[in-house]
């Protein structure tokens, strides 16, 4: 699957990357092509339009996509893992049949609405978006920010407090369609990296959502969130791996062709040392990444947010993001002045890496998760 996804991404996604980065442009035909090629709904059973495979396979696809167009890869994982897989794992069959086929074939785009302007690392405790019951509907009020796919999403999995007095234990999950009254995109956010992967602030003003669109039971959304976060952390690491692999490939090619003092810089031992370090870092990242994907493969519904898998997924993404930082720093150093030029591919990769130390829980939060599990 890795080779298959790599060939597809090299042909179909790599040519889109320069324009996406330069113009914050979104290619409307990208997701339908990905869906037609069978790269969506990887973990979803064929009954609902999916492939019927597993999380590990999803990770391999993400790794390959990240080599050639990491912006598309980020949008892919927000759609595939945060929205589509979450709905498949937690929704009833009615909602599955209604929403999954379009998400699986790429004609519909998915997103997750969790983070808020005042609720980032404390996404659950500080959540202010509310949902009150009104007949056959829930009425949502609040906002979400830094939402990947926010400007282009058709289907969003949104969390809101149905019982604010219960804190994190009063949260419920809802499927919101972009056409629901009271829902709007407040602003598109322009980013330093992963440009072209659309990020937005979303606003809910008396947004009416059918009661049947609740995912899981009322006030039980925290189980959906925590299980999803563990899977999300396991699925961020392949992005780091794919970007790092591409950076090493670019660095080797550049070192072979760039000449200084009458010979290729690849002949200098300092450059050879950097390449050797990068290779070892990437291989250790790969081993850890694959181990954690395998461990998360059979995570039961509602089983995240505690135990060894909670620490393991946090450790995986913490290590991958930190190691990717080291790989890309050396890669830019090898490229010298050309690596500092905005339009260069290695610069595009370098500008992206900081996000992976922030998203799905910052490095600091990841350390807290690991230490708290160790000390229990």
| DSSP track, 130-168 | EEEEETTEEEEEEEEEEEETTTT-SEEEEEEESSGGGGG
CA 32 remoteness from chain centre: 19
Query: Which is it for the CA torsion 187, 195, 197, 226, positive or negative?
Result: negative
Of 216, 231, 143, residue with least CA distance to 175: 216
- Beta bridge partners, 139, equal 132, 208
In the block, residue with structure tokens 């889109």: 16
- Which residues carry out catalysis? 232
Q: How far apart are CA 269 and CA 113, in angstroms?
A: 49
Q: Helix axis angle, 70-77 relative to 55-68, nearest 10°? A: 150
The residue count for the chain: 376
DSSP 299: P
Q: How far apart are CA 193 and CA 197, in angstroms?
A: 9
Of 205, 224, 39, 257, residue with least CA distance to 124: 224
Residue 73 near residue 65, CB atoms below 8 Å: yes
Q: How far apart are CA 342 and CA 348, in angstroms?
A: 7
CB burial string 115-148: b at 16+ within 10 A, e below: bbeebbeebbeebebbbeeeeebbbbbbbbbbbb
| DSSP track, 232-290 | HHHHHHHHHHHHHHHHHHHHHHHHHH-EETTEEGGGSHHHHHHHHHHHHHHHHHHHHHH
């Amino acid at each position: 699957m890795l080779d298959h996804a790599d060939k597809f991404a090299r042909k179909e996604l790599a040519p889109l990357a320069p324009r996406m980065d330069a113009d914050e442009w979104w290619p409307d035909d990208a997701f339908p092509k990905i869906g037609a090629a069978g790269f969506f709904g990887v973990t979803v059973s064929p009954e609902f339009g999916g492939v019927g495979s597993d999380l590990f396979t999803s990770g391999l696809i993400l790794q390959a996509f990240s080599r050639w167009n990491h912006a598309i890869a980020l949008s892919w994982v927000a759609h595939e893992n945060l929205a589509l897989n979450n709905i498949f794992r937690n929704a009833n069959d009615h909602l599955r049949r209604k929403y999954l086929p379009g998400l699986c074939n790429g004609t519909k785009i998915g997103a997750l609405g969790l983070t808020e302007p005042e609720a980032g690392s404390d996404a659950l405790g500080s959540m202010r978006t509310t949902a009150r019951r009104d007949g056959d509907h829930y009425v949502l009020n609040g906002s979400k920010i830094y939402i990947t796919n926010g400007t282009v999403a058709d289907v969003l999995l949104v969390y809101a407090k149905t019982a604010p007095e219960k804190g994190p234990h009063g949260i419920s999950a809802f499927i919101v369609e972009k056409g629901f009254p009271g829902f709007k995109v407040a602003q598109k956010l322009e980013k330093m990296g992963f440009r072209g992967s659309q990020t937005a602030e979303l606003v809910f003003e008396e947004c009416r959502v059918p009661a049947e669109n609740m995912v899981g039971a009322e006030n039980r959304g925290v189980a959906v969130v925590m299980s999803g976060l563990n899977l999300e952390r396991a699925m961020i690491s392949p992005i780091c791996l794919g970007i790092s692999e591409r950076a090493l490939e670019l660095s080797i090619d550049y070192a072979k062709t760039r000449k200084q003092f009458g010979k290729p810089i690849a002949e200098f031992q300092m450059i050879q040392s950097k390449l050797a370090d990068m290779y070892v870092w990437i291989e250790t990242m790969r081993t850890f990444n694959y181990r954690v994907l395998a461990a998360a493969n059979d995570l039961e519904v509602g089983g995240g947010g505690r135990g060894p898998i909670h620490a393991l997924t946090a450790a995986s993404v913490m290590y991958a993001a930190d190691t990717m930082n080291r790989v890309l720093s050396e890669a830019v150093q090898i490229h010298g002045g050309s690596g500092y030029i905005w339009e260069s591919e290695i610069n595009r990769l370098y500008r992206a890496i900081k996000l992976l130390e922030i998203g799905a829980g910052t490095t600091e939060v990841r350390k807290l998760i690991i230490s708290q599990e160790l000390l229990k």
